[in-house]
């Protein structure tokens, strides 16, 4: 049974875990398999993409989500 694919634009902040400095903010435009905002925040693949975008050598990062915009359904998976 194919599941829907949604395009999302996520504004997020990141910093090193335990740091007292302020968050640095970026935007990522990607696809996820759900339109539920709480499940998007916990999505493992989205976190991996964010780590890769900020220079993923240090995986001990804290993330905060500024805004999540679900643009709409873009199709279905093949599996």
Fold for 4-72, please state it. Answer: Ubiquitin-like (UB roll) (3.10.20)
Q: Which residues does the chain have with pLDDT short of 70?
A: 58
The pLDDT, as a whole number, for residue 10 is: 95
CA distance 53 to 70: 20
CA distance 66 to 48: 18
pTM for the predicted model, two decimal places: 0.82
φ, ψ for residue 44 (rounded to 5)?
A: -65, -40
The pLDDT, as a whole number, for residue 24 is: 93
């Amino acid at each position: 049974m194919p599941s829907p694919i949604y395009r999302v634009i996520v504004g997020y902040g990141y910093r090193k875990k335990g740091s007292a400095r302020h968050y640095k903010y970026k935007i990522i435009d990607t696809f996820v398999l759900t339109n539920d905002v709480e499940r998007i925040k916990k999505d493992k693949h989205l976190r991996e993409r964010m780590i890769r975008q900020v220079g993923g050598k240090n995986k001990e990062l804290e993330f905060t989500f500024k805004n999540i915009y679900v643009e709409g359904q873009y199709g279905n998976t093949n599996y």
